[in-house]
Structure 1
Amino acid sequence: MADTPCLGVAICTFNSADVILDCLESLLASTGVALRIVIADNASGDDTVTLLQDWAAGRHAYLMPENCPFAFTPAARTASLPLDGTASPGLPHRIRLVETGVNGGFAAGVNAALAVLAEDPEVDRFWILNPDSMVPPDTARAFALAQGPEAGFALMGGRVVYFDTPDQIQIDGGTLNRWTGVTGNLNVRGPHPGAPEPDPSDMAFITGASMVASRDFIATAGPMPEDYFLYYEEVDWALRRGALPLAYCPGGVVYHRAGTSIGSPTPWRPASPFSLYFKHRGRLRFMGRHFPAGVPTALLYSVAKAGQLLLKGYPVEGWTVLAASLGLPPSARVRARLSPEAQKRAF
């Protein structure tokens, strides 16, 4: 229908076979909105692409996870679902699969999806969403229609909740210490529902797990910076917004399985060496780029963090933090997670 709002969705996948169908099925159940979904696959080494093709063709039945934290009805399909961005009978949503051919990192995948979406003049808002997320049926419409500031907005966030503990918030918006580069999560582990909405003026960035970019912002800031490979690209991107403010959508709730592919930290486990290397390398790279006066303090933080990990019995993790912060090459264990071509991009 002509009055149905349109929202672009950019999803970067890498070895996401265990989560991507949950994400897509929940998106297809979105009501009151027409979604233009572009999946950019970063040369997954698992069967992500084959699974998507089988699912779209009706050869793979979808089973909703038993612990899904909200109710939804998977979309009924009477025919195959095209993965070329064309319309599917009976569905207002469209999906396109793009194979990038190489794992160029999170931002590279997102940028590939955004470039395709930008060609559609109907799309003015671009929702960057992690594949290990599930979304209630009214979330997409909330993002499509949320009233931002009168002069427009750069990036809009909502509430990201832990999938496995859906009464706990993961992040309501990001904060930044400009002397150490350490980021924080507003309302982290706060109650959902129940925690008050954050003030967008308290935010330094919007989490890359779920953020909506305006077309005006992308025109101002350009593509997401790709040289981080993982982590800090969304923090850097937010600082490129000029006069455009950040915004918050109260109805933009997403349930996130944190760190399924790269081993990000959760309240129950430390980050993997792979995650730690890119996070702390990115933090120092970010500080050198935007707040060089804080680099010495940022390095002191790294020493303290490494010592904390060593004292807790995580020697590999502790030395990884130091190596990353000092710009040293990663360990063979970290490099082994990436293909030779991806290593050229990452290191």
Structure 2
Amino acid sequence: MTLAPLGVVVVTYNAADVILDCLETLLGAAAADGAALRVVVVDNASTDGTPAVIRDWAAGRVPYVAPDDLPFAHLPVAKPLPLGSAAIPGGARCEVAPLTLIETGSNGGFAAGVNIGLAHLASDPGIERFWVLNPDSAVPAGTPAAFATRDPGPFSLMGGRVIYLDAPDKIQIDGGLLDRRTGVTHNSNQFCPPDVPPPDPAALDFITGASMVASRAFYEAVGPMSEDYFLYYEEVDWALRRGDLPLAYCPGGIVYHRAGSAIGSQAVNRPASPFSLYFIHRARMRFVRRFFPASLPLAFAFSLAKAGQLALKGYRREAGTLLLASLNRPPPAHVRIMLSDDAARRAIPEHIGKS
């Protein structure tokens, strides 16, 4: 079995409580598999000390203790680990190291962080595939080798099975489906047991950004992710620009995910936070406007129906937030307060100075 060199991009924002589970299991799994990884952590100006946590862990100053709910056996990683650093684009060029931390100094959103990591890894011509992985993920042995195996042939984006870490008997997503009438996305096989058959990749519309492998051919042909969504729909937009390169599915590419740990995305038995609702519905309408403008009336009708559903369940603040986002209005105060001034300039530039 021949394994392709695999670059990994992990974008962090206030991920101090989860990032070590990701890095420790990722590197432990790669060591068990014999997979050659080059990992870049891109920190979007965390305020909770995430970069310091990573440095202390890599240096061996803080021992790693696996969480009690980790649903697989973990191979400890020997410390210290060499930790490289690199300047963001425009700074001095640095060599690609096995583990690199890039501190952006600002929060430009998910896609902006991914693009910085991709640009850094792409400077190494030996890396054939780029794996975008959420920081609140845990990686079992077998997954790095599965994603690095040269089997699928030419592809654009490849995904695998993402399972809820706090409910390991339930799949979160096997790949994404898109309703072109409303812009609403759906998770293939969500809440199904992990032993269900994998999906046909030809039936999928996109690969989740929580665990997504891009081929170099796709990246060089299509370019980086669109950064104007700030959060959500970046991977859907990317997938729809893939041209003739097909999506691929890797049955052995299993990842466990603590859904919504950073921004309050919807999880098992929990509605999305107002912050998450604002950006997902703002992004949905922006996506529909870009790719399916004739569907805008139906997309807004969905917003009205969803807001009504939330209001009837007692989530009136969430319902109002959803409607403001769908109308591309400025975020309410309880959402705006969660954005630094710098992040707001990147996330909602059209609303700066408005209320």
TM-score by length of 1: 0.94
Unpaired runs of at least 5, structure 1: 86-92
Shift of 1:301: 0.2
Query: Is this contact kept in 2: 1:146–1:249, CA < 8 A?
Result: no
- The count of corresponding residues between Structure 1 and Structure 2 is 334
**Structural mapping, 1:1-347, within 5 Å:** 5-29=4-28, 30=30, 31-77=33-79, 79-84=80-85, 94-148=98-152, 150=153, 152-192=154-194, 194-347=195-348
What is the CA deviation profile of residues 114-168 of structure 1, one whole-angstrom value per residue up to 9, with x for unaligned ones? 11000111101000000000001210110000521x4x10000000000011111
- The separation in 2 between residues aligned to 1:228 and 1:11, in whole angstroms, is 18
Is the Cα–Cα contact under 8 Å of residues 14 and 42 in structure 1 kept in the other structure?
yes
Q: After superposing the two structures, state which structure 1 stretch, 295-304 or 26-35, moved more.
A: 26-35
Q: Provide closer, same or farther for how the CA distance between residues 299 and 98 of structure 1 changes in structure 2, counting only shifts above 3 A.
A: same
Q: Hey, what's the Cα distance between the residues in 2 that align with 1:242 and 1:42? A: 31
Q: Identify the residue that residue 352 of structure 2 maps to in structure 1.
A: none
Deviations 1:246-271 (A, max 9, x none): 00001000000000000000121110
Q: RMSD in angstroms over aligned alpha carbons?
A: 1.2
In the alignment, is the contact (CA less than 8 A) between 2:55 and 2:83 conserved in 1? no
For the residues of structure 1 that align with 2:22 and 2:145, how far apart are their CA atoms?
A: 16
| CA displacement at 1:5 relative to structure 2 | 3.7
CA distance in 1, matches of 2:150, 2:268: 31
**Could you list the runs of 4 or more consecutive aligned residues of structure 1 that deviate by over 3 angstroms after TM superposition?**
none
> How far off is 1:81 after superposition?
2.8
Q: Could you give the per-residue CA deviations for residues 252-311 of structure 1, whole angstroms, max 9, x where no partner exists? A: 000000000000001211100000000000000000000001000000000000000000
Distance 1:105 1:84 in 2: 20
Preserved contact between residue 183 and residue 288 of structure 2 (Cα < 8 Å): yes
> How far did residue 46 of structure 1 move?
0.5
Aligned counterparts of 2:52 and 2:249: Cα–Cα separation in 1:
36
> 1:21-58, CA deviations, whole angstroms, 9 ceiling, x for partnerless residues?
00000011122201000000000011101111111111
Tell me the TM-score normalised to structure 2 length. 0.92
SS of the aligned residue for 1:303 comes to helix
Share of identical aligned residues, percent? 60
Gaps in structure 2 of 5+ consecutive residues? 87-96, 349-355
Q: Distance in 1 between matches of 2:213 and 2:98?
A: 18
